Structure 1
Amino acid sequence: MEQFAPKFQEEYAAKIPALTLLASLGWSFLSPQEALAKRGGKQDRVVLREVLRDVLSQRTFHYAGKSYPLSENSIDNIVSHLCSPALNEGLRHANEAIYNHLMYGIPVTEFVDGKKVTPTVSIIDWQNPDNNQFHFTEEYTVTRAGGFESRRPDLVCFVNGLPLVVIEAKRPDGNAQKGPTINEGISQSLRNQRPDEVPHLFAYSQLLLSVNGIDGRYGTVETPEKFWAAWKEEDISDAEMLALKNKALDDATLQHLFDHRDKRDLSWYHNLIAGGELMVTGQDKLLISLLSKERLFDMVRYFTIFDKKNWQDCGSLPASVWHQTTA
């Protein structure tokens, strides 16, 4: 029975609950090996190019009252453009440029019956969230900028192959000398954004989270630690959150989530849910509030600002963070 005793390492307290909750929210899990394959087996790449190409192959443009598929040349150009963030001007500029592409699309050149047309292609279908592909993975190994060593964020969430959310999951028990474990995750996230680390991952990030199983905070690229904020939910009821937390995952989904792990992990999880209804933690509330598909889209579209005047003090902040930290 000892293997089913409560476990407080980050895997059991924070990461596995986050993985299962994301699956309940409708995100599709990719094992670390599957995620690597979808970026061509190269750890210096951060975009799931295979997914991005698949999405773009289904995009169309309109001309003279008719709809046309994108040419392979246009798809190649969009993928190349999105996969080459302009980090030479700094992470915040690269992040803002990617954000603008997400908001306004990318123009391409097409030829219809010999006539040149320049449609703008949407990368994300904001009006119809389900017309996009949502994936998440764990232990996402990314080669550092210098080409030596690597970093491995705990969880990364992708929309149409682009890594829009990076999550650090820590254990709930803090070291009194180091402070709360949430702060450890924030510090790690800030370190990984440095020019000699993995800034090419964060060029795409729209939300960054640090969780510890009990609670969590969120920010965006270059948000200083003191401005990472808790989320206060007003629209999603406690009953709705409880239902999502305890939503039963089908056997195929669970098998996929745990296949690459030690078999004891799945046994531990089965025993956990067999013990009765699970309580909703602060971590759960943060994930549901920010990473439900519609809510994530609202946050990115309507509540993200790039305030150049206050950048040195505040970084790139979702408007809600800015409001909370200045109120």
Structure 2
Amino acid sequence: MSEYAHVEKPLLTQLAGLGWSVIDQGCQMIPNDPTKSLRTSFRDLILPQVFRDSVRALNLLPDGREWLTERQLASLIDDIFRQPGKGLLDANEAVQALLFKAQVDRNEVTGEKDPTVRLIDFANLERNKFHAINQFRVDTPGCVKDFIIPDVVLFVNGLPLVVIEAKIGDANTANPMHEAFVQLQRYRDARSETGRAGLREGEPKLFYTNLAVIRTCGEAAEFGTISSAPEHFYGWRNIWPERFAAITPPLGEVRAQEELVQGLLNPDCLLDMLRTCSVFMDLPNGKRVKVLARYQQHRAARRIVERLRNGETPIERSGVVWHTQGSGKSLTMVFVGRMLRASRDLNDIKIVMVVDRADLEDQLSDTAKLIGGKINLVDSRSSVRDVLASPASDVSMVMVHKFVEAKEDLPDRLREKLGRYAPPPAPRLLASSTTRCASLSWWTRRTARRGPRWGTICSRRSPMPPALPSPAPR
């Protein structure tokens, strides 16, 4: 069976069932008409007219009129691809910020200066345009080869967010997954041997808006980022939202590819990953990387948020997530925090991270900055009271021993705020802490007198009481 029949065609069929507009250009031939892929030239890296129409429609006046001009739309495209002096990763980070908040010089209709422009509507997914195009030819003059042809490219509002490379094992390909990884490197001019030879290949700008790259041979399918080494590509086994749980496999069996497409590439999950589960961070060795949540982290973070949103009692809003050492507890907390801040109904929650070792406090304070906003390091027991009583919906980090009960009497007003002599009121969020151990627990409360909702995320070495049911991955 050919690569197209075994991998590419089933993938496109499944994407069509998920709501993507699929353009299938067949196989085993070099595309020679750019209009079939919604472009006027093979040098176009986006779908120009789809981008213009989508962005116009997403940015309307209260009376429903469009206000963006052709000049401003061209300027937005220029802002995306004009990244002077930046490598691919830095350019990708800058462009990702534009996907969340872009601006133009002036609203010519109302006179407003520097108005914000939405390139993607994260709140109303049905307002976005989703296209999947196979055999997406991009001309690369002056490079080793005259063009590249990624197998499948996924576009949201005309912007390429995902590049997929399909391979199968044959007489010339002993390891199809490795060959797919090498091809993805070639597409973005990332092969070191080519650079050492003083040559260029591929088109890095195709990846300026990229969220993820995927390699698949059908039986195996893994995703990574533009900075991922081969060992940092992962499969996807969880399906969210639940309405996508039923898979109709095009070839009659559910393989790793079908699981990944159904779980990661449905429009809801893909844009959720872009909005809340994609971060740029520095490793201990100083290298900067782009990180996407693995399916376990996304599932745990989503279940925490769902409990906070839907729980009727403190127990229903609390829980434990079990982890193995090195499985990414700190990043799971970051993704939870970003989901809360991005939500409309939970964005006022105060987050308190509780740690049990000083070295963790230093380590996690840097990681917690990925949530966004100010991070308060609580340095005394008296400061804990002030932080928890404040109305700010911020992120704080505290050592667990600072919660030791004090013997002195408290003023009535402070006692009322802290609720020290009454059962804890029903919480709304969470306490979070991580240690070397294997659990991440959270609980929530709401302070008296319309105070902020707050919570703590905590890790423990010992098991939590069975009264706190776990939303953890298996």
TM category, shorter? 0.7 to 0.9
Q: What residue is the counterpart of 1:3 in the other structure?
A: none
Q: Which has the higher contact order (CA 8 A, sep 6+)?
A: 1
Aligned to 1:140: 136
Amino acid of the structure 2 residue aligned with 1:161: G
Query: What RMSD over aligned residues (CA atoms) do the two structures have, in Å?
Result: 3.1
Output the amino acid matched with 2:281: D
Residue deviations 1:51-83, cap 9 Å, x none?
A: 001112213355xx766522323223223323x
Relative to structure 1, the CA distance from residue 234 to residue 23 in structure 2 (aligned partners, 3 Å threshold; closer, same or farther) is closer
Match of 2:211 in 1: 206
Is 2:7 aligned against 1:14?
Answer: yes
Give the AA of the match of 1:88: G
CA contact (8 A) 2:166 2:215 kept: yes
Distance in structure 2 (CA, Å) of the matches to 1:101 and 1:58: 18
**Correspondence for 1:215:** 220
Matching residue of 1:89 = 86
Match of 1:245 in 2: 249
Could you tell me how far 1:314 is from its partner in structure 2? Answer: 6.9
TM-score, normalized by length of structure 2?
A: 0.54
Of residues 176, 182, 187 in structure 1, which corresponds to 2:177? 182
- Percent of pairs identical after alignment? 25
Which secondary structure does the structure 1 equivalent of 2:274 belong to? helix
Counterpart residue number, 1:298? 272
Alpha-carbon contact 1:44-1:143 (below 8 Å) kept: yes
1:70 aligns with 2:67: yes
**Counterpart mapping for 1:1-327 below 5 A:** 7=1, 9-32=2-25, 36-37=34-35, 40-62=39-61, 68-72=65-69, 73-82=71-80, 84-86=81-83, 88-112=85-109, 115-144=111-140, 146=142, 149-171=146-168, 173=169, 179-194=174-189, 196=200, 197-233=202-238, 235=240, 240-242=245-247, 244-245=248-249, 278-309=252-283, 315-320=289-294, 326-327=326-327
1:75 to 1:234, Cα distance in 2 relative to 1, 3 A: closer
Check 1:285–1:325 CA distance in 2 against 1; reply closer, same or farther (3 A cut).
Answer: farther
SS at structure 2 position matched to 1:300:
helix
1:91: Cα distance to partner? 0.3
**Which deviates more from structure 2 when the two are superposed, residues 294-303 or residues 142-151?**
142-151
Q: 1:177-201: CA deviations, max 9, x gaps?
A: 9653112111211222226321011
* In 1, Cα distance between equivalents of 2:59 and 2:232: 41
* Structure 2 gaps, min length 5: 26-30, 191-199, 298-323, 328-474
The structure that has the greater radius of gyration is: 2
Question: CA 1:66–1:46 in 2, change beyond 3 Å: closer, same or farther?
Answer: same
CA distance in structure 2 between the aligned counterparts of 1:312 and 1:174, rounded to whole angstroms: 40
Conserved? CA contact 1:43–1:141, under 8 Å? yes
TM-score norm. by structure 1 comes to: 0.76
| Cα drift, residue 34 of structure 1 | 11
CA distance in 1, matches of 2:55, 2:32: 20
- Does the aligned pair in 2 maintain the 1:155–1:167 contact within 8 Å? yes
**Unaligned ranges ≥5, structure 1:** 1-6, 247-271, 273-277
| 3-state SS of 1:157 partner | strand
Q: Secondary structure at the match of 2:282?
A: coil
Aligned residues: 283
**Aligned partners of 2:286 and 2:295: how far apart in 1?**
16
Structure 1 or 2: more helix by fraction: 1
Equivalent residues of 1:108, 1:120 under 8 A apart: no
AA of the residue aligned to 1:24: G
Could you say if the C-alpha distance between residues 234 and 155 of structure 1 is closer, same or farther in structure 2, counting changes exceeding 3 Å? closer
Cα 1:119–1:182 change in 2 (3 A) is same
Shift, 1:87, TM fit: 5.8
Distance in 1 between residues matched to 2:176 and 2:288, nearest whole Å:
22
